[in-house]
Structure 1
Amino acid sequence: MNKTRTRIIAFVFVTLLILPVLDQLVGLSNRFSSTENRAVSNRPALHFPHVRTFVKQFDQYYKENFGWRNALFYVYSRWKFKILGESPLPEKVVVGKNGWFYLGNSYNRVVDQHRGIYPLSADSARIIADHLTRRQQELARSGIRLYVLIAPDSHSIYPENLPDHLQPSSNPSRLDVLRQAMASTTLPFLDIRDTLRAAKNGHVVYNQTDTHWNDYGTLVGCAALLNRIRQDFPSMPPVRLSNYNIEQQRGGGGDLVTMLTLQQEIKDPVFYYITFPEKLEGRKLATVPNDRFGYASTRIAGSGTNRLLLIGDSFSHSMMHYMPGYFQESFFMRDDRLETSVLKSERPDIVVLEVVERNISKLATF
């Protein structure tokens, strides 16, 4: 019995050693793909005499790519979330109340920002305000109007569903400090948190399982932006939510639950299908590669009379549905800077800089 047990243990031990290598060679666990939203390092090359560097790089590569890693995370994720009720990746995804998920501290310390642990100083806010004012003046000399739109974090709009130990601070937030600094300028600076908080009484404005606002929240944000632009361009038609037909449907799993490999099991309870008059629809003209930033830009024709250049982040993607119909032509870019070459090629009348709340520091270099 002792010999048999020893042989079984030895066989199991050797199998466990071989399986990761075998998986890397023949892909036994290929159906478990990585969904962690992380940049995976490539297999390093050995260059003599830099052996120590190679060993360090290969160690990092192997930790991220060893055989059965994704399958093991799939099992771990379900054990951690379903059995213990905790986030498998607490630094990336925060599990909130009532089926809500939030972005974690891995992304510019977003949780610390809202808890008041990572504040924005008045001096830093003034630096951002001064920089944006200079950009406004530069554009004005070419007859271009500049607007800045802040897309709020879901932490700001639905703080009631954050875990009790991660509730926001009652002190002024980073955005509050920046808004105060911007109040002494003439630059249109759109902080739409109150608008979205009011709108959520009628409809959900953010995805529960995703980082971003949903289509209805996007529509509300675009309406606020367009109506502010209309103050300077009165020929634009007013934006009325009553012009849009809003249907409520069942949603899918967003990027936050996808990071946890739970996207097939946890769905957003609400998805909005929004239609609007044909005259407000844009017509896609071209997709332009953006090799520097990695996301293609989009040119769209509309029925308006001005040219729009909108530079933003992932929140701006859904804005392409609602903005272009109000302009003659719109150019949407995913970027974090405003290049002179783009201004020359696009010749906009209006420039909008959109940035999500957790990244407002980037406005100092736009």
Structure 2
Amino acid sequence: MSEPPQLPAVHESYLPREHALHRPRHGKRQLVALVSALLFFTTPTLLWVFGMRPGEIENHKLAGFPSLGAGFGFFTDLPKWATDQLSFRAGAIDAAGAVSRGVFGEEPPLDQGSAANSGPIPAPPLQQPSAPKSGPAGPTLPTTTQAGFRNVVQGLDGWLYYGYDAESKCAPAQDIDTTMKRIEQLRQAVEASGRKFVFAVTPDKSTMVPQFLPDSYPGKDCSQAAAPNDWYKIITEGHSLDLRPALAASAARIGKPIYAPNDTHWRDEGGLVLARALADQLRPGISNSWQSAPSGQYDAVADLPLLLGKSGQFKTNQMYTLRPDGVTDRASEFLANIDTPVQRTAPPLAGTINQRTLIYGDSFSLASSRYLDAAFTNVTYLAYSTDKTTQAQAVDQFVNSEVVVLQAVERNVSGGLVPFTDEGFIQSVQTALAQHPVR
């Protein structure tokens, strides 16, 4: 049998459409895609040539051009470089916000965490804000780690809330019972060495100012169910100072909340409450001689707008004097950071705590440092979450103190993000303090 004649080879696109091997040409589409890609990656360079410079709208250094020696990392880093270098990016974010507010009546969802953070306009990672006009520097806030939660909960009348307030209670890294047990172990280690120990949990903004929370938000039900139990254990098992009544009384006295609408921290009134509560706990009634009065206003960087990709927004706080003896104003400048130990000293006065005091705290200690300085004449501040101070250096600060104040914000305690509950750290403190008791 003779073989069938061989047909000339043809491109699959020339085959009849009914043929199983027919494939249409994509030449025009491929060309459009290539041109689009070329424009996207060369636009930043062209704009730079014509004098347009991108701004650092997210408080982080703009990404540089990726190295060709980075292997596949060159391709994964290229989109970040191109995105950062777009001169009109700030305008695009503003436009997205205007459309979202005008059409849907809400802010654009730039603050979604985890899985949701892969959208077309993902929320930027929050970096340390630039120094405020005056007052304490804005602290860094971690972004959410759980899918479904928000970095920022957008409340009523323009109020913003930190999403981790809810997430910490719904998905804690360590259960509250373990946290309280470890804090009690740390207390016993400190007190067994002859030192005094004070634990102070600073309430979340969502705890003290819940009236502006929206009707619905991720984590509402589980966080509100967990909060009463957490606070019960914080007060009864952790023996924390309960600052909530004094904070509520202070808010009633000034006629407004003492947490800023666009920031997760309290205003100066909260710092005064903390200083007074600590002093009275160490020496009951010592604050009876204190006098305080308004002394001007200042602007500080607001942290929550940064999680929404907005920079340059401030909160306005009322500053106060603090005269422990009723005469001498001892209120000082706010500390910039406490990643490494910072010591402040002053001559003793009537109404001051004069023992060597360690305040092992977080950003609320920073936000209160002006007034803590007035109450304590020999005080050292150190952040418990810093990676710039070793464990051995932190233990040394415990050894060098006569009073240990452990200050932590509610969300960190509820969420178990408290490194001082590490068993190895507690054992190191116990051993060192036992070797250096206070007599």
**Given the two structures, how large is their TM-score scaled by the length of structure 1?**
0.73
SS of corresponding position for 1:238: helix
Percent identical residues: 21
Matched letter for residue 166 of structure 2: V
Q: Deviations over 1:278-306 (max 9, x none)?
A: 6351678xx9997xxxx354211132421
In structure 1, distance between residues paired with 2:225 and 2:283: 29
Q: Are 1:244 and 2:292 matched, yes or no?
A: yes
Partner of 2:133: none
Give me the whole-angstrom Cα distance separating, in 2, the residues matched to 1:325 and 1:208.
27
Q: Which residue of 2 aligns with 1:322?
A: 371
Matches within 5 A, 1:127-276: 127-166=178-217, 168-169=220-221, 174-182=226-234, 185=237, 188-203=239-254, 204-231=257-284, 237-238=286-287, 243-246=291-294, 254-260=302-308, 268=315, 271-276=317-322
The one-letter amino acid of 2:374's match is G
Give RMSD over aligned pairs. Answer: 3.9
Q: Give the count of matched residue pairs.
A: 330
- Is 1:69 the counterpart of 2:89? The answer is yes
Q: Which residue of 2 aligns with 1:33?
A: 56
**What residue number does 2:359 align with?**
310
1:149-176 Cα distance to aligned partner (Å, 9 max, x none): 2222211111110111139449765453
Q: Distance in 1 between matches of 2:301 and 2:160?
A: 11
Cα distance change on mapping 1:347 and 1:271 into 2, 3 Å = same
Q: Could you report, residue by residue, the CA deviation over 1:32-61 in whole angstroms, capped at 9, with x for unpaired residues?
A: 3223x67976665455xx733443344455
TM-superposition CA deviations, 1:307-363 (whole Å, max 9, x none): 111122222112111112222311112232794433435611111222222211123
Residues 163 and 320 (structure 1 numbering): CA distance in 2 closer, same or farther, change over 3 Å?
same
CA separation of 1:215/1:26 partners in 2, compared to 1, >3 Å: closer, same or farther?
farther
Indicate how the Cα distance of structure 1 residues 201 and 33 shifts in structure 2: closer, same or farther if over 3 A, else same: same
2:111 — aligned with what?
90
Q: Distance in 2 between matches of 1:86 and 1:42?
A: 34
Asked whether the 8 Å contact 1:148–1:353 carries over to 2, the reply is: yes
**SS at the partner of 1:330?**
strand
Alignment partners' CA distance in 2, 1:352 and 1:59? 46
Q: Residues 202-236 of structure 1: CA distance to partner in whole angstroms, max 9, x if unpaired?
A: 223111111211111222233223222324xx7xx
Structure 2: stretches of 5+ with no match in the other structure: 1-31, 113-150, 426-439
1:118-129 pair list within 5 angstroms: 118=170, 124-129=175-180
Partner Cα distance (2:263, 2:375) in 1: 28
Is contact 1:93-1:103 (8 Å) kept? yes
Q: Give the letter for the 1:221 counterpart.
A: L
- Conserved 8 A contact 2:111-2:152: yes
Q: Cα distance 1:24–1:110, how it changes in 2: closer, same or farther (>3 A)?
A: farther
Is contact 1:120-1:177 (8 Å) kept? no
1:301 maps to amino acid: T
User: Which residue of 1 is the match for residue 345 of structure 2?
Assistant: 301
Contact 1:23 1:68 in 2 (8 A): no
* Amino acid aligned to 1:145: K
Q: Deviations over 1:242-288 (max 9, x none)?
A: 71103675866622234546566x765x631212226351678xx99
Sort the Cα spacing of 1:38 and 1:283 in 2 relative to 1 into closer, same or farther, 3 A: closer
